[in-house]
Amino acid sequence: MTLVQSSSSGRAAPSRPRRRASRSDPGPVQAAVAPLLAAHGYRDAHELRRAYAVAERMHRGQLRKSGAPYITHPLAVAMILAGLGLDTTTLVAALLHDTVEDTPYTLGEVRADFGEEVAVLVDGVTKLDGERWGDRREAETFRKIVLAAAADLRVLVIKLADRLHNLRTLGFQPPHKRERIARASLELLVPFAERLGIHVLRQEMDDLAFKVRDPEAHAGTGAALAAALRVADGTFGPAAARLRGTLAEHHLRGEVAVRPRHLYALHEELDGDVAGLRPHEAARLLVVVDGDESDCYIALGAVHAAMHPIPGRVKDFIALPKFNMYQSLHTRVIGPAGDPLNVIIRTRAMHPVAEHGIIAHLRETGDPAGTMAGRRDLAWLSRLLAWQSDAPSAQFLDSLRADLTSGHVAAFTPTGEIVTLPVGATALDFAYTLSPETGEHCIGVLINGRPARLATEVRSGNVIEVLTDPQAHPTDDWLGFATTPQARVHIQRRLSHDSAEEASRAGRDRLDRALAERGTDLLAAETHGESLAIARDLGFDEVDRLYAALDDGSVALDDLLPRFLPPG
């Protein structure tokens, strides 16, 4: 969001009056906003025109690195969101999302002009002031976004659309900034899109960041994919025809389509070796059936009857959905030409969720903000909220990157509750995922009914029962095998607390002995509030902190004793 015209504070400095855009010429506004109105089905046209007029006036005179007027960016972000079917409030917030950060327009004015709901969304995506937060700005801005998303998921969706458009125009940025933005996108924003199941955004962001980080590999993968798809009809044409026939034989109605892979996923899967890429590696067959879940299993049987299945390659994401509620059946078969083909089967109702994730749920439920209560696909966000407040800025981004790891395993509690964890997570991580209290007091686990160590790595399908003792607490060695941020942050906090308590006890014992030798009772001083008064006089908000300072030597015993002893 670098601006050509800016003040010394880094905020935009447009030379124009700041009041309303109500007198703006409607002609240019109408023409500029027309594609957005069309994408939104011409709903709430007046409100969108009004938001665009305000945003255009406030950003007037500001330019993008490309030389284009800055208003082209918020308009493009709103267009992305309109294409996904988001509501009017989200589009208005998208048009205004940079005004508070980069123009004199205030959050109070947003609230007065467009209401509280829009103001909350704009505030959620507004970066924190760099002068105030310094090196902590990026970490605390992401923490702010996470907290805002917990109240309204649209904050995160706007942020993703904002980053997508910035990636589309990244070529106008200097090389060092392109690399930084691309890396941050792959490490933080793409995983957020994955967690929310918005695959159409994730895939494009993946590929755009890939193009910046490794342009040669991106170009090579693109050329190999295009070459493979040019001759794909010979591989997929007969297979698709056979699938359509077998669906009809099993009295199923549906569609069969060829779905090309996206570049970054293909590059990662083949470890960059795309030379001689074959058609069956470049695409997959998608079967979308008209019916319910049971029809997917009938379709799976039909596929296996028509083409020989490869053993062990069936994945059932219907009975056990992914953490973002993605549902489909995946299988691999030998096609008519002898090639191994990947086939995906889902219902028509599953398809929007597979493509748009949480956005499909927001559209279907009529709850544009998206509530977290009882949603399994948002359990990851609940866990993130549980540990984020205890993570200092320096640790927060690293912990967030780890928590957003794309790979995952799904384990079960004895009552059948599904718990998703990153690959490599241990039984101790499982305990902390259930709750911080369960983790803190755990003493062992039963995995599939057998005793196991807390350091045991969790596998998909494990049934894990956590054994607890109210008197148990974390030990230093737990940090050697706890892998999730939630577990590590809580363990470190408890260990620090225990260490501080031990230091406080040691310091108090030392002071108590010294005073007793001089005929003074420390307990009496504490009872009458004298100890607290002395602590605060020395700059400590609690007596325990004073005692800990005495133990570590930052307060000298000889300097402290006179304050407790009677005069003379």
The pLDDT-based confidence of 159 (bands split at 50, 70, 90) is: very high
Q: Considering just the CA atoms, what is the radius of gyration of the chain in Å?
A: 29
Q: What is the DSSP letter of 457?
A: B
Q: Residue 161's pLDDT band (boundaries 50, 70, 90)? A: very high
- Answer left, alpha or beta for residue 439, where phi above 0 means left and psi between -120 and 50 means alpha: alpha
Is residue 502 part of the annotated active site? The answer reads: no
3-class SS at 468? strand
The whole-number pLDDT of residue 374 equals: 53
- SS3 for 37? helix
Grade residue 257 by pLDDT with cuts at 50, 70 and 90: very high
Average pLDDT score over residue span 249-267? 94
Q: Tell me what percent of the residues of the chain surpass a pLDDT of 70.
A: 91
Residue 284 has pLDDT above 60, yes or no: yes
Query: What's the pLDDT score for residue 298?
Result: 96
Most confident of 82-91, 396-405, 414-423: 82-91
Burial status of residue 13 (CB atoms within 10 A of its CB: 0-12, 13-18, 19 or more): middle
Q: Are 384 and 402 in contact (CB under 8 A)?
A: no
Q: What is the pLDDT of residues 371-392, one digit of tens each?
A: 555 566 677 777 777 777 777 7
Residue 17: pLDDT over 50: no
The mean pLDDT of 219-245, rounded to a whole number, is 94
d(CA 386, CA 376): 16
397 band by pLDDT with thresholds 50, 70 and 90 = confident
- Single-letter code of the amino acid located at 418: I
Q: What is the mean pLDDT of residues 47-68?
A: 93
Q: Are strands 418-422 and 408-412 parallel, antiparallel or unpaired?
A: antiparallel
What local confidence, expressed as pLDDT, does residue 31 receive? Answer: 84
Question: 220-356 domain in CATH 3.30.460.10?
Answer: yes
Averaged pLDDT for residues 216-239:
94
Contacts 24+ apart (CB under 8 A), 45-49: 47/88, 47/92, 47/114, 48/78, 48/88, 48/91, 48/92, 48/95
Return the pLDDT at 330: 97
Q: Does position 464 have pLDDT exceeding 90, yes or no?
A: yes
The reported pLDDT for the residue numbered 1 is: 35
Length of the chain (residues): 568
Q: Among the ranges 461-470, 496-505, 532-541, which has the highest mean pLDDT value? A: 461-470
Residue 76 reports pLDDT greater than 60? yes
Q: 295-351: per-residue pLDDT in tens?
A: 999 999 999 999 999 999 999 999 888 878 889 999 999 999 899 999 999 999 999
Task: Find the mean pLDDT for residues 218-237.
Answer: 94
**Which segment of 218-227, 272-281, 457-466, 496-505 scores lowest on mean pLDDT?**
496-505
Q: What is the mean pLDDT of residues 85-114?
A: 94
Mean pLDDT of the chain: 86
pLDDT of res. 381 = 79
Q: Which residue has the tokens 């980080």?
A: 213
The domain locations on the chain are: 26-198, 220-356, 407-472, 492-564
Residue 101 annotated to the active site:
yes
Q: Tell me which of 371 and 278 has the higher pLDDT.
A: 278
Architecture, CATH, for domain 26-198: Orthogonal Bundle (1.10)
Mean pLDDT is lowest, of 221-225, 255-259, 279-283, 535-539, for 535-539
Query: Which of these is catalytic: 87, 98, 102, 206?
Result: 102
Section 431-435 average pLDDT: 91
For residue 338, the model assigns a pLDDT of 92
**Who wins on pLDDT, 129 or 419?**
419
As a CATH number, domain 407-472 is 3.10.20.30
**Listed range (170-174, 388-392, 426-430, 474-478) with the worst mean pLDDT:** 388-392
Q: Which residues of 472-492 are buried (b: 16+ CB within 10 A; e: fewer)?
A: eebeeebeebbbbbbbbbbbb
pLDDT confidence tier of residue 204, bands split at 50, 70 and 90: very high
pLDDT of 50 reads 95
- Percentage of the chain exceeding pLDDT 90: 50
DSSP category for residue 419: E
